[in-house]
Chains A and B, each alone.
Chain A
Amino acid sequence: MKILIISNNPLILRTWDGKIPVRYIDGSAPEVLLAVRDLCHLGYRLLTHPLSGSIKPNETPYKSVLLAGTCCGTDTESILLTENAIDVVQRFGPIRRNWQERELKDFQLVDASLLAGAAESAIADLKEI
């Protein structure tokens, strides 16, 4: 079983590319979730919750989600969780301020930290990249 990271966080790309495949989305966090949703419809399933972190969707520009590839049809729970997450993100609206470079780096770091633990667990669980 293969695992995949979907992310718009450049730190994720630098950290995990070569260890876990990263599909980098050059766009917003909502666009990341849309990509995740599309992959879920194509048979991928979520390994992490799309609403990771308590930093609100209209504050952090970054989103990273871990998926597992599957050959066994669509996982309904993954689709519902992702669609629900998209609804929540849309409800919060767009980012409301202009972050400086330092702050963006901090958001990248927190997002990467939220994913790191899950990625280690996934590697241990699934044993195939």
Chain B
Amino acid sequence: MKLELGYLRVTDLRFGSPSAFCNGVLTIDAEAVRAMILENDKVADVQLDIAKPGESIRITPVKDVIQPRIKIEGPGGMFPGTISKVDTVGSGKTYVLEGMSVVTAGKIVGFQEGIIDMSGPGADYTPFSRLLNLVLVITPAEGLPQHEYEQAVRSAGLKTAVWIGELARNAVPDRSMIYETPGIREGMALYPDLPRVGYVMMLQSQGLLHDTYVYGVDAKRILPTVLYPTELMDGAIISGNCVSACDKNTTYHHLNNSVIEDLYAKHGKELNFVGVIITNENVYLADKQRSSDFTAKLCEYLGLDGAIISQEGFGNPDTDLIMNCRKIEAKGIKTVIITDEYAGQDGRSQSLADSDPAADACVTGGNANMVITLPPMDRVIGTLDYVTRIAGGNQNSLQPDGSIVAELQVITGATNETGFNRLSAR
């Protein structure tokens, strides 16, 4: 499967009419976007705002971050099974609006998560401080059940990203990259002497606010399966995960998976990047057993020499991570696990909720319990009231001067477990 990504650099983002993407400037008719979102009667109100790198702005509470893209050639459309109809994506040509994102935020379900600071020390911990962000602050209809609220917010963010992507249909990319994965037989013939490496990607799949969708299918319901890496680039996997800001994979992370990016960079040179095996992180122990058995079996079946395993979340996903690692290693396949840590505020506690001697090669995304102080910002998009209710904060997090003392886990993407950031731990 071969996909060409054409990158269109967005250099500025502004409100105006008509909506257009021209010479790097993205102009958004806010009322048009608002009207589109409000077609869903589950949304009572939506406010649009823009946050740019370097501005003294805090966005909170963040639910998801999505990068606008548009399918130009090839089967299917963006976010198949969710926004576009079901079709196998990952081939042809797709344009990427690079340098900007759609951020969903707003009235939350009593407690929630996610801060993006566009400047100051907090900005260093999130990749989204470097983007031009269109923020959708969404108010649900009165009395809306929480699962319908989450679905409405998810839908609004994805639809807006697709709507924006459409503005770039006739643009000319600044640069292009081609990503190609040969079939099994062809790959073995092309790279007979290179080690066969796969990427085992664990998806959050525990329930309300803890979900991921694969071609529109709830990941709780899947058996581990194989994807071409480029399928993720066209939105085959989207996030319904709204808990644990620091290590949740936003839809942006799924579209721009850094393990996939780095494996492609080495593909055909140091290794044969065979493909992606996705698996889930269900609460039911029999599902964990089944999924880890299947994952190890698929690794063996694909003839892998090595596998990189990334997890998503904290606690019982650690058990899935270790089960996957142990069983894949037992097949004679070397593994490296990528995870973040909850090692206590002093960094001295055991980092994971589970462990095994087989997990002897580990890349860390950082310690989520590390305490940080975020200075006050001139403006808050969303609401600051919820900071004391955000994961990683506490009753005294919000200081009288507007600064926030909390654990790193409050920051969206801070300790991402696909290795998206540069943060590590000693």
Contact = CB atoms under 8 A, between A and B. Distances in A.
Contact of B395 (A54, A56, A97): A97
Interface residue tally on B, bucketed by range: 35 or more
B319 A81 contact: yes
B283 A115 contact: yes
B284 A118 contact: yes
B110 A49 contact: no
Given A47-B284, A47-B285, A103-B111, A54 B207 contact: no
Contacts of B389: 97, 99, 103
B147 interface: yes
A69 to B, nearest CB: 15
A49 B289 CA distance: 12
Contact of B391 (A51, A56, A113): A56
Max chain B C-beta neighbours (<10 A), residue from A53, A84, A88 = A53
Contacts of B210: 53-54, 110, 114
Nearest to A106: B110
A48 B111 contact: no
Contacts of A50: 316
Contact of B146 (A48, A96, A106): A106
Given A51-B316, A102-B110, A103-B110, A110 B283 contact: no
A5 interface: no
A121 B350 CA distance: 32
Given A51-B353, A53-B243, A109-B146, A99 B111 contact: yes
Contact of A121 (B243, B287, B388): B287
Nearest to A52: B283
B244 interface: yes
A85 interface: yes
A116 interface: yes
Given A53-B207, A117-B220, A106 B286 contact: no
B171 to A, nearest CB: 38
Interface of A: 46-56, 59, 66, 81, 84-85, 88, 91-92, 96-100, 102-107, 109-110, 113-118, 121-122, 125
Interface of B: 109-111, 146-147, 204, 206-210, 220, 241, 243-244, 247-248, 282-288, 313-319, 342, 344, 349-350, 353-354, 388-389, 391-395, 409
